[in-house]
Amino acid sequence: MAVSEKRELFNHVIVCGCGIVGQRIAEVLKQNSIEFIVVELDAEKARELREKGYKVIAGDATFSNVLKSAYIETARAIAVVMDNDAKNLFAVLTARDLNKHIFIATRANDDFLKEKLNEAGADYVIMPQKSASKEILKELGVK
């Protein structure tokens, strides 16, 4: 968002990382008229998202000042879905420190990280590869 466009947000969702998972989350939030803001590290991707009409903060979601610029203090939820496990962990720690009541959903690539994300304050941790594998096996008739 340009400085002149900034206004305070309340009861919104923050989406950290707009790869495949983050883009889908943003699309569904938009379709359901839920106010949200994207935090994206890649400046080119941030520009493209702005062109789509999204509110975007170009920056690193592991930094307090970046999450504060996304009004984390008044957000209802944050989806931490970057492609980097370490960044997801640090963003969860930072988000929980800045807002004790925010609902934090994130992703993990292994069981060890899932445990660490829960310890760091995540309310919901999904493991996309494991979920996809289970769903495919279910469709193949394997339990």
Per-position pLDDT tens, the chain of length 143: 443 344 689 999 999 999 999 999 999 999 999 999 999 999 999 999 999 999 999 999 999 999 999 999 999 999 999 999 999 999 999 999 999 999 999 999 888 999 999 999 999 999 987 777 777 877 888 87
The 10 Å Cβ neighbour count of residue 131 is 11
The C-alpha angle 140, 130, 94, rounded to 5 degrees, equals 155
Q: Which two tokens stand for residue 126?
A: 């999904």
Q: Can you tell me which residue has the tokens 């983050």?
A: 22
The 10 Å Cβ neighbour count of residue 87 is 17
Task: Give the pLDDT confidence score for residue 131 in this predicted structure.
Answer: 72
Instruction: Tell me which amino acid residue 100 is.
Output: K
Which letter does DSSP use for residue 4 in this model? G
Q: Is 126 left (phi over 0), alpha (psi -120 to 50) or beta?
A: beta
Please list, in sequence order, all residues whose beta carbon lies within 8 angstroms of the beta carbon of residue 89, skipping any fewer than 6 positions away: 113, 116, 117, 120
Fold (CATH) for 9-139: Rossmann fold (3.40.50)
Task: Give the pLDDT confidence score for residue 7 in this predicted structure.
Answer: 63
